Amino acid sequence: MGRGGRRPFPVRPREVAAAPSADNHGVALRPDEYHAVPGVGDGRPAIADIHGSCDALLASGWRRDEIASQVTETGESLPIPAYLNSTSVDRVLIGGIHGREPAGAIALARYAGRLAELGRGEGILLLPLLNPWGYSRHLRYGPSGQSVSDSDHLLGRAEAPACSEAAAITSFVLDAVRVNPGAAVLDLHEDPVYEDPSYHLEGHGSYLYVSGDGALDHPVAQRVYRCLEASSFPLIKQGVTRFGERLVEGVIVDTEDGSIDELLARKRACCPVITTEIALQGEATPPLAERVATYLGVLDAFFGP
Ligand SMILES: [Zn+2]
């Protein structure tokens, strides 16, 4: 699954998950990592292509801010940009926190043209690819072995940020931008269940985390729910995630996982905060193109008619 660490485990979930994530399934690294197509073979484009599509927003008056960067062994710096059309936003879009979950970042990049139109009517913050280092290497976490957007240090559960990216990304969303109360958040993940051979999730499809006061009944959450329900990846109604969370009608409500989503729900009163998951049985199972197409539909549902 999902996000940074997962509660309600007595053991820190991210420590449990760190071991399998160190194996990137033999994905070869390329020189000029920024412009190279990652060697995963699932059809994901170069980091530069993701950013290039988003850069088209600049012609519509959007701003690009560099939140942080991740440095490779060869000294190459991989930027982590944010795109925004206002310093006061009512929508937040997040992708690419976990490197084995590329569909969200790709869908967000492909949605940039539509965002240029939607941005005429409301303030939008786009964080398309928060972990480019993990994306190009097919690794869940960043170079430090920690979730790049872990927010526990701001939720009273850790003394210090988990890593430099977590410090920069959380500071950016809380301090550099005004995310308004009631802002709707969509964080596009996938659940590479194949990371844990001992785990079995009953059924194939998707599930959701929804947070915020009354968030499940919010029209935005309802639209996303119905969109996934009607998609190629219908909601898995019952089961338990790898992180011990029980699905109720395909949803986990108000989880405490130390993610940036929990941070935005608690510290900025965002509502609904929606985290989507598509269960993956392998790197290219189901095919990436189908997952991206589904997430493009989810983006339409998130913004509504
Ligand atoms: Zn994830």
Rounded distance between C-alpha atoms, residue 53 and residue 68, angstroms: 19
State in Å, rounded, how far the first CA of the chain is from the last one.
Answer: 29
97 alpha carbon – ligand 1 mean position (Å): 6
pLDDT tens-digit map of 48-78: 999 999 999 999 999 999 999 999 999 999 9
pLDDT at position 11 is: 37
Q: What's the mean pLDDT in 89-113?
A: 98
Centre of ligand 1 from the C-alpha of residue 71, in Å: 21
Give distance in angstroms: CA of 67 to centre of ligand 1.
Answer: 20
Q: pTM of the full predicted structure?
A: 0.92
Cα(2) to centroid(ligand 1), Å: 3
The per-residue pLDDT for 138 is 96
Query: Residue 12 has what pLDDT?
Result: 37
**HSE-up of residue 2 (Cα within 13 Å, Cβ side):** 31
Centroid of ligand 1 to alpha carbon of 103 (angstroms): 11
State the DSSP H helix or E strand holding residue 125, giving kind and residue range, or none if neither: strand 124-127
Kindly report, residue by residue over 248-296, the tens digit of the pLDDT. Answer: 999 999 999 999 999 999 999 999 999 999 999 999 999 999 999 999 9
Q: Concatenated DSSP letters for 160-174? A: S-SSHHHHHHHHIII
* Ligand 1: centre distance to CA 304 (Å): 24
Q: Is the pLDDT score of 2 beyond 60? A: no
| Ligand 1 geometric centre to CA of 181 (Å) | 25
Could you tell me what percentage of the chain is helix, strand and coil, using 3-state DSSP and rounding each to the nearest 5?
35, 20, 45
Q: What is the pLDDT of residue 22?
A: 58
**Span from the CA of 61 to the centroid of ligand 1 (angstroms):** 31
Question: What span, in angstroms and rounded, lies between the C-alpha atoms of 59 and 135?
Answer: 27
According to the model, what pLDDT value does residue 201 have? 80
Distance from the alpha carbon of residue 214 to the mean position of ligand 1, in angstroms: 24
Task: Answer yes or no: are the C-beta atoms of 24 and 44 closer than 8 Å.
Answer: no
Q: Give the H or E element holding residue 287.
A: none
Tokens 């998951």 belong to which residue? 277
Give the span between the Cα atoms of 278 and 232, in whole angstroms: 10
